[in-house]
Amino acid sequence: MTNVARKVTVIGAGNVGATCAFVLAERKIGEVVLLDIFEGFAKGKALDMSQGGRILNYDGRISGTKDYSDIADSDVIVVTSGFPRQPGMTREDLIGKNADIVSQVGLGIKEFAPEAVIVMVTNPLDLMTYHMQKTTGFPHHRVVGQAGILDSARMTHFIAEAIGCSNEDVQAMVLGGHGDTMVPLPRYTTVNGIPVTQLLAEEEISSICDRTANGGGEIVKLLEKGSAFYAPGSAAAIMAESILFDRRRVLPCSTYLSGQYGMEDIYIGVPVVLGRNGVERIIELELEGHELESLQSSGTFYKQQLNDILGY
């Protein structure tokens, strides 16, 4: 990958993918390709975004396609393809349907963009990220999942709302799987450097942690049809940007563990340094007993599903 990357592909032109592509275009990333099995869907959204460039003052090539050969030379590929959650569904209910889609997408990426870094968004996130790495055979550091940024953003919003302060001043940290077993870490959450434990009562923090873990389900219930897309799409764009321009941001992402935090052969959310090569480094936080136990329990949950449902 060159020092300044110029091309990113978003696979899946639904709400999440289109939001991601739009944010990337608005942030003047460079060439953006939007790929979908429904070519007109991808081309129409790409054209709409291109026309919006004059209004919002961004200028870059945005194209839509269904042809995988058009993803050639992509530096980063964001995968959002898959079925969204509906009311009453868990992320895990999507495993079978979305695993088949990820297999097809992964083979296309392997053939036409073998040097790309893949950012996974398809749910259930941690399982689909593992499945994508197995499908492509890419090095683990070049396949990474978007979840912790979204979950941390949700926690950040709830904290700012409770305190009555700006989102910009809150730094939250959420680890673990992207689901009910996620692990919000109040001890690593601050408001402009002030520990949140000094600003909110324990019961308020506990309520916020619960709401964070169920943040996606809350939106699914409110929408009645479909699931969240503005925040997930934006979070994926931020990851792509950090990789494309080697910003080496420290972000919570679903990454492959090989002994870190006492877990092996699993993708799960932990802090990483995200740069040109994907996951440049995994950061191991000093966790207290109950925090580490919760994180490992989250890992055990997904490890079991990898074995029972996907056969790994």
Catalytic annotation, residues: 178
Residues 6+ apart with CB under 8 A from 70: 9, 33, 35, 63
Q: How far apart are CA 233 and CA 81, in angstroms?
A: 12
Q: How far apart are CA 189 and CA 174, in angstroms?
A: 9
122's tokens = 């398809």
Q: Which amino acid is at 76?
A: V
| Burial class for 166, CB neighbours closer than 10 Å (0-12, 13-18, 19+) | exposed
Q: How far apart are CA 206 and CA 200, in angstroms?
A: 10
Helices and strands (H, E) in the chain, number of each type:
9, 14
The three-point CA angle 120-228-276 to 5° equals: 30
